[in-house]
Structure 1
Amino acid sequence: MTTARIALVAACLLLVACGPKATPEQQAQALQAFATIEQVFQHPRCSNCHIPGDQPLQFDAQAPHAQGVVRGPEGHGAPGLPCSACHGEKNPPDSYGPHAPPGAPHWALPPPDRKMAWIGLPAAELCAMIKDKDSTGGRDLDAMLEHVTGDALVLWGWEPGGRRAPVPVPHADFVAAFRTWMDGGAPCAGV
């Protein structure tokens, strides 16, 4: 095989591996779309559990969780006080009152070895974290998209019940923004 042919094969393999490049217009649209993604991720419905420390936040005011609740060794609460002790598989009936613990399937925080702590992160750092498989438990962008479209706990943020404010961006708009960002090469501003 000639050197020219080897170079051609290598270039073709690189194109297949890297996929098509986004146009400058797609990249600009992707950066705009990330502003929507950031708005959702920084909302209390998401950021109350994506915390740098070990005590989750609660309410729209993002107050430290009462009752001494902590992340625990696997993200499911402390031994003897798991999240599921108070948080069920769904919200309790309204008759339980406005301060009843909300519920959704597998209520938990990210585990301590990958906290996915993005509360207050600048956009570029949040963007880099979402793209980093080490930070997302091995999820690539396709798996992250699946996570934000099909995980019942994530979807709860759009219908939290009680007096809790839902994520202000409609879920369909958020998903469209996530796809636009991905299709545009998932760029991070300032990087």
Structure 2
Amino acid sequence: MKSELRFQLAVAVLAVAASMFTGYAISQTAPQSLASPESFALISDTDARSAAMFTELGKVLTHPRCTNCHPATDRPRQGDEGRLHQPPVTRGADGHGLPAMRCSSCHKHANFEPGRMPGHPEWHLAPREMAWEGKTVAEICAQLKDPARNGGRKVEELIHHIGEDTLVGWAWVPGGGRSPAPGTQKQAGALVEAWVKTGAGCPAQ
């Protein structure tokens, strides 16, 4: 009986190890690439070229690393499947959680890999007006151009926000077996800059 229990325990341990390895392997897979602004040069119509570049950027904006922190409700989401955050936290007045459960209570200055806990000094939810979970790329594009729904930013400010902001940059180094956003932050920033310089056109749908 004892040998049977030891065997069952060993099988369970191997199963857990296998699942952990699988998660790690997924995180090490080369992320989906992003096309460069130059690759859209053959589109002669400027508005169409601009819209095409934003559609490419949409691969990042609709990825779970972005939508989980731009939720449609006051509850953040987590994981590649976008499940509701556990424990059940909520936005709070400033996006950093309620007084009794601040984001910083768990999310520290960097990823804590033994616990698979993501981290950054400014960990928080995007403002309510910047919610885009469940929206189409065209809807997100219109939202990003609207100061009332983009945090009061001019589109030019999005170049730095997406291309250089370190909290946004976490999306490409999420750790913990999470899939990173497509491409790199530098590539995303280049697309935003090119999109802005070509008139910030939006896809039709």
- Scaled to the shorter chain, the TM-score interval is 0.7 to 0.9
Q: For residue 125 of structure 1, report the CA deviation from its aligned partner.
A: 1.2
Structure 2 counterparts to residues 42-191 of structure 1, below 5 A: 42-92=62-112, 94=113, 96-97=114-115, 100-112=116-128, 114=129, 116-190=130-204
* Whole-angstrom CA distance in 2 between matches of 1:62 and 1:127: 21
Letter in 2 for 1:103: G
* Whole-angstrom CA distance in 2 between matches of 1:150 and 1:189: 24
* Whole-angstrom CA distance in 1 between matches of 2:158 and 2:190: 14
Structure 2 counterparts to residues 2-81 of structure 1, below 5 A: 25-81=45-101
Q: For residue 189 of structure 1, report the CA deviation from its aligned partner.
A: 2.1
RMSD, matched Cα = 1.7
Quote the residue 2:22 is aligned against: none
Letter in 1 for 2:146: D
Q: For residue 24 of structure 1, report the CA deviation from its aligned partner.
A: 5.5
Letter in 1 for 2:64: P
Give the match's secondary structure for 1:157: helix
Structure 1 stretches of 4+ moved >6 Å: none
Letter in 2 for 1:154: V
What TM-score results when the alignment is normalised by the length of structure 2?
A: 0.74
Letter in 1 for 2:53: A
Is the contact made by 1:91 and 1:101 (CA closer than 8 Å) also made in structure 2?
yes
Letter in 2 for 1:34: F
Letter in 1 for 2:88: G
In the superposition, relative to structure 1, how do residues 128 and 159 fare at CA in structure 2: closer, same or farther (>3 Å)? same
Q: Deviations over 1:85-104 (max 9, x none)?
A: 00011112x3x24xx32001
Give the match's secondary structure for 1:140: coil
Is the contact made by 1:50 and 1:119 (CA closer than 8 Å) also made in structure 2?
yes
Structure 2 gap segments, 5+ residues each: 1-42
* Whole-angstrom CA distance in 1 between matches of 2:170 and 2:67: 13
Is the contact made by 1:105 and 1:152 (CA closer than 8 Å) also made in structure 2?
no
In the superposition, relative to structure 1, how do residues 111 and 180 fare at CA in structure 2: closer, same or farther (>3 Å)? closer
Query: What percent of counterpart residues are identical?
Result: 39
